[in-house]
Amino acid sequence: MALEISWILATIVIYIAIVWFIGYMAHKATKKNDVVSYVVADRKLSPFVTLMTYSATFFSAYMMIGYAGYTYANGIAGTFGFEMFVTVFTGSLLIIYVGYKFWSAAQARGYISSSELLRDSYGSTWVAIVATLLGIMWIVPHSMMQYQGIAKLLDGLTGGVIPYLWGIALFAVVAFVYTVAGGVRAVAWTDVVQGTIMIVVAFLVMGFVINALGGFSGYVNAVQTQAPAHLTFPGPSNLYTVVGYLSIIIPFVFQPLCNPQANQRFFMTNKRGIKYTAFGFAIFSFLYALPITIFAVGGKVLFPNLSAADSITPTILTSIVPPIVALIAMTGVWSAALSTIDSQMLTLSSMFSRDILKNAAHPKITAKGEILSIRIFMVIYILIVFFFSMTPVPFILTLGILSAAGVSTLAPTLLGSVLWKRGTAAGALSSMIVGSAVLLTLQLTNTKLLGWAPGVWGVIVSFVLYFVVSLATKPRPESTEIHKQKTKG
């Protein structure tokens, strides 16, 4: 049964009031007409806030809706395994090693985005422009995933009273207002609140699902007897074969580094903040993914014949969870989505303003003009995402996989900027452009060469071209070797 509309509306109003108040306080704390203050918080975010904003930004609506739906349909073994591999192992390692190098270069040279670092490292404005444009293109599916997650939840919880498109429009406006007002401080401070809500909600829902199956022993027995294929490889849908599993993992491996909204966090804190985030991110990942995995598989036992797997979370909330808890859970999904949406808007807008407008087209633009251009691009970006989100996809996690694969085609260029002095601008450009083109072509034609997903080929082509073309072209000047930069932190 759908929740009372009056309760849902009241919860929405309270939630909006809280995040907008935080946005107002962030506005007061941000220096006027100061791009560094507006975009990277004067590089003074505390280690804890850095951890929370990085984690809440990385995890989004794909978890409570898409990840839960994917687990419901395909089982626990592969889904939880790839989530932990990507976030706990590769994510933390990339942060502690590569993230530190990004931070060191930003401290020394004043970068506010990874594209600026690429411009200086390769000595090419075109590398920065292409990285910015491709970053925007590949993050659109990820943003779509956030809006679709919120909209699907509201539609399901209200029985269609708050329709899909209304849900998208509402939360686009909510995120836009506090992000425009308070810049990255609004994003980071709301992420602390939203990240906490996300984990609490996941455990609450897990607890009610376990209780509905007769406690922990009842849960285990029910899953083992009624959904045994969900516990083993290749899963009930035979998705997690070796090829199928690697087709998901490979595009995701570099996502913690390559997502522009994530790597910009490396420019906002101190050296301790990088280390704190590297280890804390692994803990946050485990604490968030584990309960969602458990309640999604339990949902398969309780509701075995759902026509849409992504509806498992709304179904649980409207069937076995008390209304007050369902409302809290609803805010958890909003939190997961908004904590990513706000970062994407601000990061991509700042990249466009700095790397295309200021550094390429209008070098003399004032700080006031740059901030205005950031806000204008936020509006444009929201409209683009809204347009592409008008038709929902069956599995929203597929959008996340596409986005992860897309940004991972930038991995060789990003890694090479600080790790390999022999990388060249030609290698970077060919890697990004051709790798993205191959991925997009295979994706649009639904082609799986040799059985491998398009994302795998996109990443492979990107790495091969980066090394081959770089070795075949003139080395970059010593002055552009960012990897030599040493900074005290």
Average pLDDT, the chain: 85
Question: Which residues lie closer than 8 Å to 163 by C-beta, 6 or more apart?
Answer: 155
Residue 58: φ, ψ to 5°: -65, -45
Q: How confident is the model at residue 479 (pLDDT cuts 50, 70, 90)?
A: low
> pLDDT tens-digit profile of 183-192?
999 999 988 9
pLDDT of residue 485 exceeding 50, the answer is yes
Count the helix, strand and coil residues of the chain and give each as a percent rounded to the nearest 5: 80, 0, 20
Q: Given pLDDT bands bounded at 50, 70 and 90, which one contains residue 488?
A: very low
In the predicted structure, residue 255 carries a pLDDT above the cut 60: yes
Q: Is it the case that residue 333 has pLDDT exceeding 60?
A: yes
Asked whether 374 and 355 are in contact (CB, 8 A), the reply is: no
> Which value, in Å, is the radius of gyration of the alpha carbons in the chain?
22
Residue 204: pLDDT band with limits 50, 70, 90: very high
CA distance 59 to 280: 14
CATH architecture of 5-397: Up-down Bundle (1.20)
pLDDT at 215 (0 to 100): 95
Least confident of 77-91, 272-286, 332-346, 430-444: 77-91
Asked if residue 86 has pLDDT above 70, the reply is: no
Instruction: Report whether pLDDT(489) > 50.
Output: no
- pLDDT reported for residue 487: 43
- pTM, rounded to two decimals: 0.86
Question: Which residue in the block uniquely carries the two structure tokens 């989530």?
Answer: 83
**Would you place residue 401 in the very low, low, confident or very high pLDDT band (cuts 50, 70, 90)?**
confident
Is the CB of residue 282 less than 8 Å from the CB of residue 88?
Answer: yes
pLDDT digit string (tens) for 49-72? 999 999 888 887 678 877 888 889
Q: Is 295 helix (H, G, I), strand (E, B) or coil?
A: helix
For 18-56, the pLDDT digits (tens) are 989 999 999 999 998 899 999 999 999 999 999 999 988
Residue 437 is predicted with a pLDDT of: 95
Of the candidates 264, 289, 336, the residue with the CA atom closest to the CA atom of residue 106: 264
Per-domain boundaries in the chain: 5-397
Sequence-separated contacts (24+) of 304-308 with Cβ below 8 Å: 304/226, 304/227, 306/72, 308/69, 308/394
For the chain, give the percent of residues with pLDDT over 70: 92
Percent of the chain at pLDDT exceeding 90: 32
What's the sign of the alpha-carbon dihedral 348, 349, 353, 354? Answer: negative
pLDDT, tens digit, for every residue of 285-322? 888 888 999 999 999 999 999 988 878 988 898 889 88
Residue range 420-437: average pLDDT? 95
Mean pLDDT of 94-115: 88
Banded model confidence at residue 243, pLDDT cuts 50, 70, 90: confident
Name the residue among 404, 325, 396, 366 with its Cα closest to residue 73: 396
Q: Give the integer Cα–Cα distance in Å for 390 and 400.
A: 17
- Unique residue bearing structure tokens 């997903």: 453
* Per-residue pLDDT at 486 exceeds 60: no
For range 153-171, the mean pLDDT: 78
